[in-house]
C-alpha cells in the first residue's frame, strides 16, 4: 500500500540479537582487556620487573614400605591457602588436607596401608572468582611396597 512503511526495511529480531552479540564480543576482545590493565595495552602490563613464581612441586620418596611413615613436602603453592594432597592408585585413594605457610610451602608425615603404585598430586584452593579447587598440580610417582 502507498504510504505504509515496508516491513522488509525493518531489522528482524534475529538480526538485532546477532548485532548485539557481535557488539558484546567486540567489547570483550578490545575494550575489556584495556580496562583491566593487561599486558600489551600500553599500561605497562607484562612482568613489571617481577619474576614468576616457580610451579607447585610435591616432594616425597619414590618408594616406601606399607604403613611406614614418610615425609611429604610441597612448595610453590599459594600463601596461606588450603592444599589437598591426593595419593591415587588403581584400587585406593588417600587424601590429606593441609594449609600452606606464608611462603606457599607445607610438610607433613603420612603413611599408606595399601601396597601399589600411586600418583601424588595436589588441588589448591583458589580464592579468585568466589573460590574453587584447581587440581592435578605437581604430579609425582610413589611406590608403596
Residue 133: give its domain's CATH number: 2.60.40.730
User: Are 37 and 19 contained in the same domain?
Assistant: yes
Residue 88 lies in a domain: yes
**pLDDT of res. 40:** 47
- Return the higher-pLDDT residue of 84 and 5: 84
User: Are 66 and 91 contained in the same domain?
Assistant: yes
User: Are 44 and 64 contained in the same domain?
Assistant: no
**pLDDT of res. 38:** 46
Residue 138 lies in a domain: yes
User: Are 20 and 77 contained in the same domain?
Assistant: no
User: Are 68 and 105 contained in the same domain?
Assistant: yes
What are the tens digits of pLDDT across the range 77-92?
Answer: 999 899 999 999 999 9
In the chain, how many domains are there?
2
Residue 5 lies in a domain: no
Query: What's the mean pLDDT in 63-73?
Result: 96
User: Are 97 and 132 contained in the same domain?
Assistant: yes
Residue 34 lies in a domain: yes
**pLDDT of res. 18:** 73
User: Are 94 and 30 contained in the same domain?
Assistant: no
Q: Domain containing 28: what range?
A: 11-49
**CB of 94 within 8 A of CB of 64?**
no
Query: What's the mean pLDDT in 95-114?
Result: 94
Closest CA to 120 of 103, 91, 145, 96: 96
- Does pLDDT of 41 surpass 50? no
- Average per-residue pLDDT for the chain: 82
Query: What's the mean pLDDT in 123-135?
Result: 87
User: Are 85 and 22 contained in the same domain?
Assistant: no
User: Are 76 and 140 contained in the same domain?
Assistant: yes
User: Are 45 and 61 contained in the same domain?
Assistant: no
**pLDDT of res. 28:** 64
Residue 2 lies in a domain: no
- Does pLDDT of 118 surpass 80? yes
**CB of 60 within 8 A of CB of 73?**
yes
Question: What residues contact 100, with CB distance under 8 A and at least 6 apart?
Answer: 74, 77, 78, 79, 80, 81, 82, 83, 106
- With a pLDDT cut of 70, the percent of the chain lying above it is 71
**9-13, 23-27, 28-32: the lowest-pLDDT one:** 28-32
Q: What is the widest separation between alpha-carbon atoms in the chain?
A: 94
User: Are 62 and 43 contained in the same domain?
Assistant: no
Residue 83 lies in a domain: yes
**pLDDT of res. 102:** 94
Amino acid at each position: 500500500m502507498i504510504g505504509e512503511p515496508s516491513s522488509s526495511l525493518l531489522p528482524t529480531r534475529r538480526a538485532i540479537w546477532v548485532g548485539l552479540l557481535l557488539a558484546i564480543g567486540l567489547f570483550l576482545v578490545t575494550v575489556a582487556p584495556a580496562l583491566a590493565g593487561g599486558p600489551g595495552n600500553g599500561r605497562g602490563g607484562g612482568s613489571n620487573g617481577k619474576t614468576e613464581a616457580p610451579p607447585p612441586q610435591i616432594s616425597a620418596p619414590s618408594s616406601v614400605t606399607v604403613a611406614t611413615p614418610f615425609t611429604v613436602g610441597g612448595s610453590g603453592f599459594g600463601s596461606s591457602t588450603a592444599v589437598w594432597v591426593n595419593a591415587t592408585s588403581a584400587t585406593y585413594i588417600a587424601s590429606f588436607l593441609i594449609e600452606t605457610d606464608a611462603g606457599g610451602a607445607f610438610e607433613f608425615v603420612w603413611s599408606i596401608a595399601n601396597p601399589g603404585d600411586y600418583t601424588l598430586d595436589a588441588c589448591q584452593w583458589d580464592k579468585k572468582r568466589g573460590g574453587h579447587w584447581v587440581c592435578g598440580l605437581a604430579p609425582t610417582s610413589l611406590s608403596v611396597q
